[in-house]
Amino acid sequence: MEEYSQLNFPGITLRCVRGDGGVSVWDSLRHKYIVLTPEEWVRRHVVEWLMQSYHLLPEQIVLEYPVEIGGTRQRADVVVVDKRGAPQLVVECKESRIDFTRSEVVREVYAQVVRYNATLHSPQIMITNGLRHFCFRTEDFCSYQAIRELEL
């Protein structure tokens, strides 16, 4: 898949099929094929990294987690839950061409995940474009502290 760039995550193996809509990849969490968009490319890497690095079970990772904000339904890209189903991490994925070297872009994506977390109350949040990752721990669900390593 040469049209997708190398990311700052370990490599992954994908089960792919080609169709009229382009390339689709098997999503073992949702048990269906998903169109491989540049953002999905990043999400696939995040999921595999979380499962491998933190030894998470598939049932602890929820994709497209529903979040209601101001009466509108939105979806968090990736939410890690504990055994009781309580959110432990909210991840917002962006495609790699979204420029995370620009502080205003990072602030905008950060604000998006903070809005989700105002409802979800996870102790940690993360934003990534696959190349750069920023992780934060909530101090009191109103303020966040940057962290180097997630605690899962």
- Average pLDDT per consecutive 10 residues, the chain (152 residues; last block may be shorter): 79 91 91 94 97 95 95 96 96 96 94 95 97 93 88 90
Q: What is the CATH number of the domain that holds 141?
A: 3.90.1570.20
Residue 109 covered by a domain:
yes
Residue 27 covered by a domain:
no
To which residue do tokens 């909530």 refer?
138
Residue 79 covered by a domain:
yes
User: Could you tell me which residues are beta bridge partners of residue 133?
Assistant: 128
What pLDDT is recorded for position 117? 95
What pLDDT is recorded for position 114? 95
Total domains, the chain: 1
To which residue do tokens 């502080």 refer?
103
What pLDDT is recorded for position 1? 44
Residue 10 covered by a domain:
no
Range of the domain at 78: 38-147
Residues whose CB falls within 8 Å of the CB of residue 24, separated by 6 or more in sequence, listed in order: 16, 17, 18, 33, 34, 35, 36
Residue 26 covered by a domain:
no
CA–CA dist 24, 132 (Å, integer): 25
Residue 32 covered by a domain:
no
Q: Between β-strands 22-27 and 87-93, what pairing exists: parallel, antiparallel or unpaired?
A: unpaired
Name which of 48, 5, 7 is nearest 26 in CA terms: 48
